[in-house]
Amino acid sequence: MTAANTPADAAAPAPEAAPGDASAKAAARARARSVPRSGWAVVANKEFADHLLSVRFVVLLIILGLAVGIPFFLASEQLRSLASQASGAPALFLALFQLGINVPIFQIDVTIQSFIALAAPLLGLAFAFDAVNGERAQGTLPRLLSQPIYRDDVINGKFAAGLAIIALVLAIVVAVTAALGIFRVGIIPSPEELLRIVVWLLVTIIYVAFWLAFGLLLSVVTRRAATSAIVGFGVWFLLVPFGRFLVTFVLAFLSPTTNDLTESNLAAINLNTFILRLIPTTLYNEASTALLNPSATLTSTPPTVGENLQAIQLAQIQNMSLEQSVLLVWPHVVVLLALTVACFAIAYVRFMRQEVRA
C-alpha cells in the first residue's frame, strides 16, 4: 500500500452546516488546512538552516579549503617565479587553477582543478546520504509528512537545500582562492577570466549535483544511513581517485594504442575515450580544462586523421573565446545534467512509492 501525493494528514471534511449558519461555515473554513503552493521551499529553508548551522558544514568547508590549499601554494609559487617571464601572457590568472605537479603513477595533476574534482563529490554525498533514511531512523519522517505539504515537496526540498549549501561552499572556496591569488601573485584577472571562473564554478556545481542526487538515491533505497554512506563513499573511492587509472589499465590489455595517426589507432583511442567518459569525473575534468585553458581547442582525439591535423592547425592559430569554449564543453554539461536528472528521478519515484508511515 503506497501513500498518495496528497497532504498526509488533511483534515476530514467537516459536516455541512445548516443553511444560513454563517458562524458554522466560518469555523469550518478556519479548521480547514490548505496546502502551501511552495511547500518544497519551506522544507528547503529548514534543511538549509540546519545544514548551515551543523558541524558537518564547517568540517567539509575546512576539508575542501585545505584540499585546495596545497595545489594553490604550488601554483602560486610557480607563478611568482615565472612572473617576469610570463608578464602580459593571456589568461595568466587562470593558470593559478591549473598549475601544479604531475603524479604519473595515478595519471593526475595536483592542481586546484583536480583537487576540487577529487574532493567536491564528498560534499554531495555528505549532505545526502542520510537525507531520507536518517529521518526514518529517528522516526521524524511520518511527522514530517503529517504536515500540510505534498509528499514530493519533502524530497524536492531536501535536494534544493543540499544543492544550495553545496553552491555556497564551492563559491566561498573559489572566491577565497581567487582573492588570495590576487594578493599573493599580484595578477589582476581580466573580465573574461572572471567569467570563465564563474562558468567553471557553475559546471562544478552541476558535477557535484550528480553526487548529491546519487547520495539521495542511496538514502531512499537503503534503510540505514550507515549502509548508504558505505556504498556512496565506496563508489566515490572507486571512480574518482582510481577510476581513470583502473579503466586505463584494463584498456591497455584489451585495446592497446600508440601515437601513430592511423585510422585504426584513432578508432582505438576514441573507444578508450568513450569508455573513460562513462566516469563523471572524466567529463568534468575535460570541461574544466577547456574552460580554464583558452588554448584548449578540443577535449578528445578527433576520430579521423584529417580532423586531427585540422585540430593541430587550429591550436596553433588562435585561443578559444569564452563562447567557443562553452560550445566545446556543452555536450559534457548535458551528459552531467542527464546523469543528475536520472539519479534524482529514480530517487523521486522510489520515495513516492514507499510506505513511510509508522
Q: What is the pLDDT of residues 17-69, one digit of tens each?
A: 444 455 555 544 544 444 445 778 888 998 999 998 888 888 888 888 888 88
Task: Evaluate whether 295 touches 315 at the Cβ level (below 8 Å).
Answer: yes
What confidence tier does 220 reach under pLDDT thresholds 50, 70, 90?
Answer: very high
Cα(300)–Cα(283) distance, integer angstroms:
11
In a domain, residue 332? The reply is yes
* The pLDDT of residue 257: 63
Q: Note whether 111 and 71 are within 8 A (CB).
A: yes
> Does the residue 191 lie in any domain?
yes
Least confident of 116-130, 175-189, 233-247, 292-306: 292-306
Average pLDDT over residues 11-18: 45
Domain count, the chain: 1
What's the rounded Cα separation, in Å, for the pair 347 and 329? 28
Contacts (Cβ under 8 Å, ≥6 apart) of 207 = 117, 120, 121, 280, 283, 284, 336
**The pLDDT of residue 219:** 92
**Does the pLDDT at position 180 exceed 60?**
yes
Q: Under a CB-based contact definition with an 8 Å cutoff, are residues 216 and 155 in contact?
A: yes
C-alpha cell at 265: 589507432
Range with lowest mean pLDDT among 79-93, 169-183, 244-258: 79-93
Q: CA-based diameter of the chain, in Å? A: 92
Give the pLDDT band (50/70/90) at residue 239. Answer: confident
Percentage of the chain beyond pLDDT 90 is 25
Ranges of H-type helices in the chain: 22-31, 39-52, 55-81, 83-86, 112-119, 121-126, 133-138, 141-145, 151-185, 191-221, 225-239, 243-254, 263-276, 280-292, 305-317, 322-353
Q: Does a structural domain hold residue 26?
A: no
- Structural domain contains residue 90: yes
Banded model confidence at residue 88, pLDDT cuts 50, 70, 90: low
Measure CA of the first residue to CA of the last residue in the chain; give whole Å. Answer: 13
CA–CA distances in Å: residue 152 to residues 35, 155, 228: 13, 6, 21
Kindly state whether residue 2 falls inside one of the protein's structural domains. Answer: no
CA atoms within 13 A on the CB side of 1: 2
CB atoms within 10 A of CB 7: 20
Average pLDDT over residues 300-328: 60
Closest of 270, 291, 274, 279 to residue 339, by C-alpha: 279
Angle of the 112-119 helix axis to the 280-292 helix axis, nearest 10: 150
Beta-bridge mates of residue 110: 101
pLDDT, greater one: 67 or 338: 338
Out of 104-113, 174-183, 231-240, pick the least confident: 104-113
Residue 166: the pLDDT is: 92
Q: Which of 172-186, 263-277, 292-306 has the lowest mean pLDDT?
A: 292-306
Predicted pLDDT at 263: 60
When pLDDT is cut at 50, 70 and 90, the band that residue 170 belongs to is very high
Q: Which domain holds residue 265?
A: 36-353
The answer to whether position 261 is within a domain reads: yes
Identify whether the C-beta of residue 201 lies closer than 8 Å to the C-beta of residue 166: no
The answer to whether residue 333 sits within a structural domain is: yes
Is pTM beyond 0.85? Reply is no
b/e string for 20-43 if b means 16 or more Cβ within 10 A? eeeeeeeebeeeeeeeeeebbeeb
What is the pLDDT, as a whole number, of residue 300?
56
